[in-house]
Structures are given as C-alpha cells and as structure tokens.
Amino acid sequence: MDVRLDLSQRSISPQGSSFNEVWPQIEPLVKKIFTNDTLSKSDWQEIFWKVHLTCMWDPHSAYQLQQRLRELFSFYITREQQFIFSNAQTDLSLMRAYMVAWKRFMFYYTYVPLPFAPLEKLVFNRGGPI
C-alpha cells in the first residue's frame, strides 16, 4: 500500500504568520505607543505574539517589519520636530517644547523595542541591516 501525502498546496506555517497578514494588525498598536495611547495587556501580548510568530515562521518578514518600523519612527520623529518648531516663539518656549518632545521620545524609546526583540535578534544574527 503506497500512501503519499501531497503537501505542495499546503503551508506548514500557522495562519496569520506572514508579514502581510500581521502588519495591519499590529501597526495600529505600534501607533498607539507612539501617540502615548493606553494599550491593554491583551494588546501588548498580541504585539509580542504576532512579532514572534512572524519572525520565526517567515524570516523575510523580519526585514519588512524592520522597514515599516523605520518608516513609522521617521514619521513620528518628523512630527515631533514640527511640534518643537511650531511652539518656538522664544528661546524659553523652544526649550519647553523640546522638553515635552524629549519626554515623549523617551517613552517611545523605552516601550517600542520591547515586543520587537525577536526581530532584532533575527536581523543581527543574519547580518542584515539595522
């Protein structure tokens, strides 16, 4: 008896593990971090899980994810610069605006990298650009 299993049309990766499936789900959550919106515990868990799932099952997704994060980061840095200069009528107001922007940046800097540790490890271990 010859039993053959045809896996040519099946994917061994879990559903929802490709970049194109995951990014639309986590992008709004990452934007919440950048805007200092509150994330629920389940939102945090979702980001961690989706990033881990994507990076482990689809290594090419890590580079796509990295690129999208760079784009988001650049967008929010530009937005902070605009905020600073739009509030800079005097040296004192410039300094105050800068301090507000710096506090927001430190918040991003503290929390955004946490769920993306698998991405960082994967990209560094493979010698890709950061």
CA distance readout (Å), 110 to 22, 34, 78, 104, 115: 23, 11, 19, 10, 11
Dist CA 23 CA 67 (whole Å): 11
- Per the CB < 8 A criterion, the answer to whether 21 and 27 are in contact is no
Asked if residue 93 has pLDDT above 90, the reply is no
Which two tokens mark 6? 């045809």
Q: Write the CB contacts of 123 (distance below 8 Å, at least 6 apart in sequence).
A: 62, 63, 66, 129, 130
State residue 12's pLDDT score: 46
| pLDDT tens digits along 24-63 | 998 999 888 888 788 899 998 898 888 888 887 777 888 8
Go through the domains of the chain in sequence order and give each one's CATH number. 19-125 (1.20.1310.10)
The angle that helices 41-57 and 19-34 make with each other, rounded to 10 degrees, is 140
pTM for the model: 0.69
State residue 52's pLDDT score: 84
